Structure 1
Amino acid sequence: MLSPKVLVDFLLQNNISFFSGVPDSLLKDFCAYVDDEFPESRHIIAANEGAAVGLGIGHHLSTGEIPLIYLQNSGLGNTVNPLLSLASEEVYSIPMLLVIGWRGEPGVKDEPQHIHQGRITPDLLDVMGIPYSIIDKNLSQNQILELIKNQIEDSFDNKKPVCILVRKGTFETYKKKNNESINSNYELEREEAVEIATKECETNSVIVCTTGMLSRELFEFRANNQLGHGKDFLCVGGMGHASQIATGIAINQPHRPVYCFDGDGASLMHMGSMAITGTKNLSNLIHLVFNNGCHESVGGQPTVASKFRLSNIAKSIGYKFSETVSDKKNLKKIIREAQSRKTSSFIEILVRPGHRSNIGRPTTTPNQNKISLMKTLKQDL
C-alpha cells in the first residue's frame, strides 16, 4: 500500500507542488493529506474536473511546473474538452499528471453507475492519447513510485498530460488533522432535513435527487415508511445535473409539483444550470440545496459553499423566491411559503456534516427506478 505522505514527498522532490481536483472515495486519504499539508494557493478543490484542468494549465503557464489533477474516473467526461482542445500535444502541449480513482473496474464489485464508466476507462484514456500506469495495493511503494516517476518524465519531456490510474485500496489510511466545518454548529442534520422536506411535498409531486448520501437518505426514508419509490428519480451518477432533469420534467408537466433535492458540491459543479432553471420562472419547481459545506460521500473534503450564501446567487440569476434556512421550524415554513408563491423558488438548507454509518443504498436498479417514475408521470394529476 502507498502512504499519502510518501507520495507527496516524492512529488515535491519531482517539482510537483500544485494540486487541484474533485475528491474521490478511492483517493480520499491522499486528498486529506494534501489538504492538511498545503495552503489554498497550492491545493484547490475545484468546482468540477474540467475546471481543475484549467487551474492546472494556468499553474503551468505561470510557473513552468507540472500540476497534479486528481479525480474519480466518473469525472473524466468533464475533463475531455480542456484536455483535448487545450492541453493536448496538438494544441498547447501542457504537461500535467492526472491521478484518477478507478471506480467500476471490471471484476470489482461496485455500484451500477460506475460499471459502464469503469469498463471503458482504460480505452477512453487510450482514445484520448493519454498514457497511463495502473497502481494497486499489491505493488511495493518503490514499484509505485517508479511507475509514477516514469509518467512524470514522459509528461515533462513530451509536454503532455499523463495518468496514474488508482485501484481500490491502494492508499494507506490517513486521518485528517483538521476536519472541523463551520457547518458543524447548525441545528439540522441532513437526513432529518430530507425527511422534513419530503413530508412537505404534495402527494402528486415528484423529487429529482442528486447523487451521494442525499439519494441514499431519501431512498431509505421511503423504504422505512413503506412509501414506495415511484415518485423519485435518484441521480446515482451525473453529479451536478439533477436541477436540469427536474427542470425538464417541470416544463413538460406544468401542473405537477416538482422538487429538486440538490447538494452544495453538486450545485457548484455545474452552477450555470441554476441560471437556466431560475430564468425559466417555473411555477411548479422548487429547488432545495442541502448545504453541509463538504463532499461528504467521498471523504468530507470542504466545498466553498460555506463562504457565501447560495440563496443570494440564486436570487441574482432569476429565482423569484430565494431563502436560506437552518432550523426545523423555519424549514417547514419556508417550504410552504415557496409552494404558495407559485414562482421559481430556491431554498438553501444549512445542515451539519455527517451521516449514519449504517445508511443503506438503493435496493432497486436504476432502470426499475426509471420505469416506476415514468409510470407515476403518466398518471393523471
Structure 2
Amino acid sequence: MDTKQFGEELKQSGFAFYTGVPCSFLKNLINYAINDCEYVGATNEGDALAIASGAYLAGKHPVVLMQNSGLANAVSPLVSLNYTFRIPLLGFVSLRGEPGIPDEPQHELMGQITTRLLDLMEVSWAYLSSDIAEAKDQIQQAIQVIQQNRPFFFVVKKGIFQEEILRTQELKPASNPFKQRKNASDQLPRRYEALATIQSLTDNNTVQLATTGKTGRELYEIKDIAGNFYMVGSMGCISSIGLGLALSKKDKDIIVIDGDGALLMRMGSLATNGYYNPPNMLHILLDNNAHDSTGGQKTVSDNIDFIEITAACGYTKSIYVHNLEQLKSSIMEWKKEKNLTFLHLKISPGSKKDLARPHIKPYEVKDRLRLFLKSGTSSQ
C-alpha cells in the first residue's frame, strides 16, 4: 500500500500527532510521520502511550507506533491509564514472529500471543489491509471505536507499507544548561506542605499533573480544581503525559509533580523531555527516598544526582531547592522566564493522616481537564 496515501487519509481524519518506538515493519509509516506530521520519538512504548495521552488531553488525535515486543512494555499504561481514564488513541503494532513466517527467536512467543494480549486488555484491533480502499474503511471503523473513548490498534504484518524515504533529520544540540546543586541543609517539609505551596501559585493558565499514589490524593485534598490531573496507576508516566500536553498546548503552563520512586521507574523519559524541551513545562521532584504509598520501603534516590542527570538530558535549568521559600521563588521565576526546568526538593517521609481518596472518578478528571483546556476556565 502507498504509505503516503495512507498517511494522508489518516491526516484528513485528524491523526497528525505521532509518537512511538521504531520497528522495521513500521519504518515506512514512521518515516512518513517524521517527514510530514508531528512526531515524538519515545525511549519506550509505555512512555509513548503516555505522551500520546497527554496530546489527547490537549485535544489532539494521537497515533502510537510500536513493535509487538514493545507491546509488553505498554501493558501498564494501556490497562491503568488508557482504560482507567478512558483515553482513546490509534495504535499500530507490528506482528513480528507471525506463526509460520521465519523470524528472529526473540519474537516467537510474542508473535503467537500479540492479538490475544490485545483481547485480554480489551483493546479493539484489526489486521491492517494492504489494499488502500479497504484500509480507508478500516480507519473509519477505528474512529467509531475511538469515539467511544477506547483505543484501537492495527496489527501490521510484514510488507504492508511501500517504501517511504526518510528525509534528513536535524539534530537538536543541547544548550549549556543552568545547574544549581545542593549548597545548604534541607528543610525537609512534608509533601502536603510542598503541594500546598505549589497549589497556591496556580491560576487559570496552569495545569498540574500529580504522580500516582499519595501525591495526587494530597493535592486533591488541598484543593480540587479543573486544572488538576490525579494519576492512578501507570507509575512513572506522569512526565511523559506532561510532555505530550506541553507540546500540544503551548499556551498553558504545565507543572508535573513527580515522586522519586516513580521517576526512577522510567528515567528514560528524562532524555525525551530534554530533547523536545518544551519551555512551558516545569518538572518538580518531591523526593522522600521512599515508596510512601506502599509502606515506606526505601528507594535508591539517595544515590542519584538528579540535577546532573536532568541537565545532561537537556533540561534548560536543573535546580536543587532546599526549602519551601526556594520552591515558591523558583516556580515564580519559571512562570516569568519559561524554560524547561527541573526542581528537586527533598521532603520528609510520611503522609497526612486519614488521607481520603478523590471522590471524582478518573475519567471524570480527564473529561473536566479537557474541557478546562478547551475553555480556559477552572470554575467548579
TM-score relative to the length of structure 1: 0.50
2:354 is aligned to 358
Instruction: For 1:364 and 1:331, locate their aligned partners in 2 and report how far apart those are by CA, in whole Å.
Output: 29
Could you say if the C-alpha distance between residues 375 and 294 of structure 1 is closer, same or farther in structure 2, counting changes exceeding 3 Å? same
Instruction: For 2:259 and 2:321, locate their aligned partners in 1 and report how far apart those are by CA, in whole Å.
Output: 14
SS in 1 for 2:284: strand
How far residue 336 of structure 1 moved from its aligned partner, in angstroms, is 1.6
The code of the aligned residue for 1:207 comes to Q
SS in 1 for 2:367: helix
5 Å matches for 1:216-235? 216-222=217-223, 228-235=224-231
1:111 is aligned to none
Q: Deviations over 1:214-247 (max 9, x none)?
A: 000011111xxxxx43111111110010001111
Pairing 1:317–2:323 present: no
The code of the aligned residue for 1:198 comes to Q
The code of the aligned residue for 1:288 comes to I
How far residue 353 of structure 1 moved from its aligned partner, in angstroms, is 0.4
Q: Deviations over 1:198-228 (max 9, x none)?
A: 2123332111111011000011111xxxxx4
Pairing 1:266–2:262 present: yes
How far residue 369 of structure 1 moved from its aligned partner, in angstroms, is 0.6
Question: Which of 315, 324, 327 in structure 2 is aligned with 1:328?
Answer: 324
1:208 is aligned to 209
1:192 is aligned to 193
Instruction: For 2:211 and 2:188, locate their aligned partners in 1 and report how far apart those are by CA, in whole Å.
Output: 22
How far residue 329 of structure 1 moved from its aligned partner, in angstroms, is 1.3
Could you say if the C-alpha distance between residues 336 and 76 of structure 1 is closer, same or farther in structure 2, counting changes exceeding 3 Å? closer
Aligned pairs, number: 212
RMSD: 3.3
Instruction: For 1:76 and 1:251, locate their aligned partners in 2 and report how far apart those are by CA, in whole Å.
Output: 21
Instruction: For 2:361 and 2:236, locate their aligned partners in 1 and report how far apart those are by CA, in whole Å.
Output: 21
SS in 2 for 1:367: helix
Instruction: For 2:357 and 2:198, locate their aligned partners in 1 and report how far apart those are by CA, in whole Å.
Output: 20
Q: Deviations over 1:47-78 (max 9, x none)?
A: xxx9xxxxxxxxxxxxxxxxxxxxxx969999
1:238 is aligned to 234
Instruction: For 2:204 and 2:371, locate their aligned partners in 1 and report how far apart those are by CA, in whole Å.
Output: 15
How far residue 339 of structure 1 moved from its aligned partner, in angstroms, is 2.1
Contact 1:309 1:324 in 2 (8 A): no
Instruction: For 2:338 and 2:187, locate their aligned partners in 1 and report how far apart those are by CA, in whole Å.
Output: 29
How far residue 281 of structure 1 moved from its aligned partner, in angstroms, is 1.9
Instruction: For 2:334 and 2:218, locate their aligned partners in 1 and report how far apart those are by CA, in whole Å.
Output: 23
1:255 is aligned to 251
Instruction: For 1:357 and 1:76, locate their aligned partners in 2 and report how far apart those are by CA, in whole Å.
Output: 32
SS in 1 for 2:204: coil
Instruction: For 1:362 and 1:373, locate their aligned partners in 2 and report how far apart those are by CA, in whole Å.
Output: 15
2:37 is aligned to none
What percentage of residue pairs aligned between the two structures are identical?
A: 33
Contact 1:263 1:290 in 2 (8 A): yes
2:373 is aligned to 377
SS in 1 for 2:330: helix
The code of the aligned residue for 2:209 comes to V
Gaps of 5+ in 1: 1-49, 51-72, 79-84, 92-116, 124-183, 223-227
Instruction: For 1:185 and 1:284, locate their aligned partners in 2 and report how far apart those are by CA, in whole Å.
Output: 27
Q: Deviations over 1:3-23 (max 9, x none)?
A: xxxxxxxxxxxxxxxxxxxxx
Instruction: For 1:204 and 1:75, locate their aligned partners in 2 and report how far apart those are by CA, in whole Å.
Output: 27
5 Å matches for 1:73-84? none
Instruction: For 1:74 and 1:242, locate their aligned partners in 2 and report how far apart those are by CA, in whole Å.
Output: 13
Could you say if the C-alpha distance between residues 217 and 318 of structure 1 is closer, same or farther in structure 2, counting changes exceeding 3 Å? same
Instruction: For 2:226 and 2:241, locate their aligned partners in 1 and report how far apart those are by CA, in whole Å.
Output: 16
Question: Which of 254, 277, 281 in structure 1 is aligned with 2:277?
Answer: 281
Instruction: For 1:191 and 1:312, locate their aligned partners in 2 and report how far apart those are by CA, in whole Å.
Output: 27
1:152 is aligned to none
5 Å matches for 1:46-125? none
5 Å matches for 1:283-302? 283-302=279-298
TM-score relative to the length of structure 2: 0.51
